[in-house]
A and B are shown apart, each in its own frame.
Chain A
Amino acid sequence: MSKALNEIEKKVAEFFVKREGQDVLKVIRNLNFRSDGILDSLDFVSLGVYVERNFGVKLDLTSMETIRLMSTFDSLVKLVQSK
């Protein structure tokens, strides 16, 4: 990763490190979690639960826009920060 992670980013990244291993951090900003096969539909539910537990933020998983924003690391972090 080119840029060091701030605290929120680190916490969000933990979700992916647990599933994908440390090396995911090298490319996490370049991944599309949906189209790259990292997350399936149930994983998005798990990610939603993780975000709610760790940040107290409830994401509307029925919204296409929310799913789109959850599909990349940077937009997911922004989504968490915006709530």
Chain B
Amino acid sequence: MKKSVEKIELFSRIWTEAKKNPDRTILMDREGSLTWREFLTKAEGYAEQVKSARSKIIPILTSQTVETPSAILGCLMAGKGFAPLSLQQPEERLQNCLKRLEADVVVSCDSEQRASKSITLFGLKALYSDGGSSRELPSQPKEFDESDILYVLFTSGSTGVPKGVRVDAGNLQNTLFWSQDVLDWNSRDVMGGATKFFFDISIFDLFSLYYYGIPFAIFSDTSNVSVTLDEIQKWKVTSIFSVPVFFSQLSQIELSSEKRLNSLRRIISGGDFFPPSHMLRWLDKRSQVEVLNVWGPTESSVVNTMHSVTKSDRKLLEKGKCPSVGKAHPRMEITIVNEKMEVIEPGEVGEILMIGRCVTRGYLGDAETTKKAYISFQGKPAFRTGDLGHFDVNGELYIVGRMGSMVKISGYRVDLGEIENIVSRLEGVHFCAAFVQEEEFGVKEIWLGIEPKNQTELSIFDVKQNLRKMLPTYMVPKRVILFKELPKNQNNKIDRKAAAIQAREMEA
């Protein structure tokens, strides 16, 4: 079969927009804003810094400021890929990511590190940029080939080591071109950046700026509703793509009378289930805002389906059920299979496979895991998403849950095995089991059961304080329950389902 090659249009699109409107403001953060000219000049400063690095993929320690988009574009201008990393994660985890990248340099966008100008960070040569000073637009760089790795994004891994998803230029362009068919961008649109730059939703936001010239406003503190509302008003944000938790928080305010939301015309919710009751609040109290329910794993290039939630979904929502996430598209082929990998009929629940150009390039330095998840299906590349779902007779896709131990918590994909792996390192822990409890539909918490070693008296508070030093906040279990003996199944494996039931009874 002849392979179709699509020309990458990243830089040509950016430079076309920048030449047309060099003084248009296109990036905003808590400290200020950048025009196209300022943005490209700043990015060029980063490109100068990274161009002589040996690494093909440049790790970037991100901050929620205009520095990060500039550093990302700078890496790309230098012909390098990038790997956005969080500084708010345990050092051991961060070191693991850096090791996997085989990096010789690290770019820091963190203001404290930039101020300190340390020569090295985490044992690597540290690079900073104060931006270029040219009044002229930098010259347009050479485009990537579609098979060039554009970025590596780290997600939770079962062995305690995060998995680095390798995404090529063709993968991301496929998603961006798909989004053109489902999102009607206009000249007044402003995207509000509500997720961190190490989360792939922000990659979509950022590349919507690069591909379609949509100004991008980076919220300073999304945990603070009032500050976020002020910023929506100040920057006239029209569109926000985030995890449901963000929109759930907003749904608690007086949506119908909140004037600071006047510019907002749509919310795009993905990464987890949006609690139906919260979705209903948006429909009822802010009907002028379109609610888009989307779905897609990192491994199939950020987002693959989109559904506009309307009044026709009301009955489903009132029953506490989630609406469709959308349909397949020529750029986003989807099929659902049973355990024998046979395609199943509408209405039947099975594992969702993503097929074709959206399928990324596997996990960095992890051939074994890649082989399990990235397969060939009917002669095409496919990714086993691990998500369970079904089609209806109209081809609408519904997500019902996840296979195995991978769960979604506050939009973050968490492998419970990674938590258990960390917990098992704590002194006094014999066995442990991490599981999810759902307080109400869509509101999930990680709980942890521990069976202490003989005669060890464990302090729950000490366990949690230790875990806060070892895990990102969203992975720290909300509750820790001490078991005399964790339930086991016939194969003498820990029975997590039974542990979850017992834990709930113990906590009742």
Contact = CB atoms under 8 A, between A and B. Distances in A.
Interface of A: 18-24, 26, 36-37, 40-43, 45, 61-64, 67
B461 A23 contact: yes
A19 B183 CA distance: 42
Contact of A21 (B222, B468, B480): B480
Given A41-B245, A62-B229, 16 more contacts: A18-B507, A19-B478, A20-B460, A20-B461, A21-B460, A23-B459, A40-B223, A41-B249, A42-B249, A43-B478, A45-B252, A61-B225, A62-B226, A63-B226, A64-B226, A67-B224
B482 to A, nearest CB: 9
B253 interface: yes
A62 B249 CA distance: 9
A66 to B, nearest CB: 10
Size class of the B contact interface (CB-based, 8 Å): 20 to 34
Given A23-B461, A23-B462, A42-B245, A62 B253 contact: yes
Contact of B461 (A24, A37, A40, A64): A24
B51 interface: no
Interface string B446-471: 00000000000001111110001000
Contacts of B249: 41-42, 45
The 10 tightest CB contacts between A and B, nearest first, are: A21-B460, A23-B461, A41-B223, A21-B461, A62-B225, A23-B459, A37-B468, A62-B226, A24-B461, A20-B461
A61 B250 CA distance: 10
B285 to A, nearest CB: 15
Contact of B476 (A37, A41, A62, A63): A37
Contacts of A18: 479, 507
B16 interface: no
Contacts of A19: 478-479
A22 to B, nearest CB: 8
B111 interface: no
Interface SS majority for chain B: helix
Interface of B: 222-227, 229, 245, 248-249, 252-253, 410, 443, 459-464, 468, 473-474, 476, 478-480, 507
With a 10 A CB-CB cut-off, give which of A22, A42, A43 has the most chain B CB atoms. Answer: A42
Nearest to B468: A37
Contacts of A45: 249, 252
Contact of B459 (A21, A40, A42, A43): A21
Nearest to B477: A19
A41 B460 CA distance: 22
B473 A61 contact: no
Nearest to A63: B226
Nearest to A65: B226
Contacts of B462: 23
Contacts of A41: 222-223, 245, 249
Given A19-B479, A20-B461, A21-B480, A64 B227 contact: yes
23 contacts: A19-B479, A20-B461, A21-B459, A21-B464, A23-B459, A23-B462, A24-B461, A26-B461, A37-B476, A40-B223, A40-B410, A41-B222, A41-B249, A42-B245, A42-B248, A42-B443, A45-B249, A45-B252, A62-B225, A62-B229, A62-B252, A64-B226, A67-B224
Contacts of A37: 468, 473, 476
Nearest to B246: A41
A41 B474 CA distance: 11
Q: Which of B225, B245, B410 has the most CB of A within 10 A?
A: B225
Nearest to B250: A62
A82 B223 CA distance: 25
Contacts of B223: 40-41
A45 B443 CA distance: 12
